[in-house]
Structure 1
Amino acid sequence: MSENQNPQPSGDVTPHGGDGTLAQVDRFDDPGVPEHKHRLADTDPKAAKRNERLIALIFVISCIGTIGSLVAYFAVRPDGTTAGVRTSTMLLGVAMAVSLLGIGIAAVHWAKTLMSSKEYTEERHSSSSSDEVRSAVATQFQDGYKDSGLARRPVLLGSVGLALALFPLSIAVPLVSSVGGDWNVGKFRHTIWKKGVRLAYDPSGRLIKASDLTVGSVAHVIPDVSEEERESHEWITEKAKAVVLLVRLDPRDLKRDHREGASYDGIVAYSKICTHVGCPVALYEQQTHHLLCPCHQSTFDIADGSKVVFGPAKRPLPQLPITVDDEGYLVAEDDFNEPVGPSYWERLK
């Protein structure tokens, strides 16, 4: 290593002792504050004005984003279809992103181009400052305020105030408008699964025969409903509650059903909605027969009644009882044996 790559501290240095101890460094020279380099906006009033206008423009764009999020929230409501939910969510998210990013980008550009860039140092002192020190700090704040030129930039102050005042509306308005909505939690106790409803692949809707599944097969399942029901406003909500993960095990590996007699020839069906906070449980490990929730690593053993073997979940996944009809298609024998998803008030179990 060259001398330039291994600088030595100045001051008194205790040499290595015979016992191999390292040298002690008494002190380093204070490098001091580097020379202040003026920016273009510091020396050119026109450049400072350009930056001020640019920052104000970005704040105004942020305001437009906030207004756009409110328009998207009220004018483009989800219509119950996948496309409608996607469009509404995308417009709302883009508008809120423009609003928040506008504030952030403008603030960063303001700090880099117009705020004071001088470095100040202060010697360490006791926690109780003297009157002289407090007076000096107050003077430094006043100097910093003067250096920032805030008093000379009313347009900039107005634009940042407007952007910061408007942005909370993009969050507050949807929250306030949801007050008084549907708070009937009883609807979570049941899904559209019922006796005789056939199991279909998600999202194709193709029916599933027991003979189609080999040991180790995994299928994402939804109820087989009519085309008219698929186009209804309620379908998205009902589908979200009724999604199922279907797995075929070797019957010899099946220790027990969560719901006695609910499986068919080693084929078990469990809700995909984690009983912790409702994330989709869909990671299946074939050798251990474990289902893993990717959000918080709750793990369920589907060969043993879907009992929890790891993680924060407290209850097994609800099981859908299944059998086959006269044509060999898998059908539900009833709804889930308990409400799906995480705990909520008024839940009996």
Structure 2
Amino acid sequence: MHHPDFLSDATNSEVAEPQAHPERFENPGLPPHKERLSDLDDKAAKRVELQVVGLLVLSMVAAIAGIVGYFMFNPSEGASAVRYSTLSIGAGLGLAMLLIGVAAVHWAKALMNDAEMVEERHPIPSDDKTKEEAAQLLSEVTADARIERRPLLKGALASALLLAPLPFAVPLIGNLSSDWNISKFRHTAWANRPAGAQGRRLARDPEDEPIRAADVTIGSVFHVIPHELGKLPGEEHFMEEKAKAVVLLVRIDPSELIEEEDRKDWSYDGIVAYSKICTHVGCPVALYEQQTRHLLCPCHQSTFDMRDGAKVVFGPAKRALPQLPITVDDEGYLIATSDFHEPVGPSYWERLK
């Protein structure tokens, strides 16, 4: 079925000529500036100033509270005290910085000049006249901040900025004091042994049962602590000593072990013992993959090869896990012949390697 009229209209219609684009659009300019209440009313501006000062004062209070909390909880009282001390210093620092940021935003939105300014682009480098104009503009911007006319606001800002970093700096200063005994990281309870003993016995954690070499089968895994930990001199802080001395013990087919010449006597018939403290950030390394003989850190997936000196095969850790030299005593129990030969755990400034 045909529609002659429609075809005729389509045939006779003319295609409109495209309109040429203008070379330049007219600048519409800036919209009219709207004055804020603080621009029109000095009392409103004063209220905003006091609000900003209040936020800065709260920032100072938070910083001081963080420092007080840090010293209020004595780390020697146990893990919970360490946790609360760290929480206090972190919360104080974070809140102090947050309040300074909120105060700065409120100040900028309500007190600083918010009139939009337009400056035409100019060639680079600028000539002397332009540089003078830029310097003048910076002076005007400084004046627009209105800080010179508000000494209370200026003093509160300076005080808050000085106090806010203290929750971060105080622990660093404390770590450099005479109370910070860095040698604690170099030695563990494995260095202690009962009088007349051949070495410190390895015991199951947490049962504290000594381990016989004959009970350790190939592929088995034992979580180990020093036997009778906390009962020898120098081991009064049980949890601290345990945190440094925890060990993972496994037995591997001796033919699979790759041992350096000076460490061949550090294992016993395929039984090897390594620190459980990851050398990355100190997480407990306790996931043993029996098929690959790999030890995995659950925090950041650092992986250590138990067949080859617990060297790093994957992940962010950079150093192998420290190995505990072991053997058996006259009764067949596994014992540590010495302490670790290097500090356990993550790196710190004073360690040599």
TM-score normalised by the chain length of structure 2:
0.70
User: 1:244 and 2:247 equivalent?
Assistant: yes
User: 1:270 and 2:274 equivalent?
Assistant: yes
In structure 2, the CA distance between the partners of 1:173 and 1:346, relative to structure 1 (3 Å rule), is closer
Alignment correspondent of 2:226:
223
Q: CA RMSD in A?
A: 4.3
Report which stretch shifted further, 120-129 or 222-231.
222-231
> Any conservation in 2 of the 1:11–1:27 contact (CA below 8 Å)?
no
Q: Partner letter of residue 163 of structure 1?
A: A
Alignment correspondent of 1:65:
62
- The whole-number CA distance in structure 1 between the counterparts of 2:55 and 2:211 is 58
Q: What SS does the corresponding residue of 1:340 show, helix, strand or coil?
A: coil
- The whole-number CA distance in structure 1 between the counterparts of 2:222 and 2:258 is 21
Alignment correspondent of 2:53:
56
Q: Partner letter of residue 244 of structure 1?
A: V
- The whole-number CA distance in structure 1 between the counterparts of 2:25 and 2:349 is 62
TM-score normalised by the chain length of structure 1:
0.70
Alignment correspondent of 1:3:
none
Larger Rg: 2
Q: What SS does the corresponding residue of 2:273 show, helix, strand or coil?
A: strand
Q: What SS does the corresponding residue of 2:200 show, helix, strand or coil?
A: coil
Unaligned runs of 5+ in 1: 1-9, 14-25
Kindly report which structure 2 residues correspond to 1:130-279, keeping only aligned pairs within 5 A, or say none: 130-181=127-178, 188-194=185-191, 195-201=199-205, 204=206, 207=209, 220-226=223-229, 234-247=237-250, 249=252, 251=253, 254-257=256-259, 259-260=263-264, 262-263=266-267, 267-275=271-279, 279=282
Q: Percent of aligned pairs with the same residue?
A: 49
Q: Partner letter of residue 97 of structure 2?
A: L
Pairwise CA distance, 1:59: 0.7
2:344 to 323, 340, 343: 340
User: 1:304 and 2:304 equivalent?
Assistant: no
Alignment correspondent of 2:292:
288
Q: Number of residue pairs matched?
A: 323
Q: Partner letter of residue 126 of structure 1?
A: P
User: 1:316 and 2:320 equivalent?
Assistant: yes
Q: Partner letter of residue 247 of structure 2?
A: V
> Any conservation in 2 of the 1:281–1:292 contact (CA below 8 Å)?
no
> Any conservation in 2 of the 1:244–1:272 contact (CA below 8 Å)?
yes
Alignment correspondent of 2:100:
103
Q: What SS does the corresponding residue of 1:150 show, helix, strand or coil?
A: coil
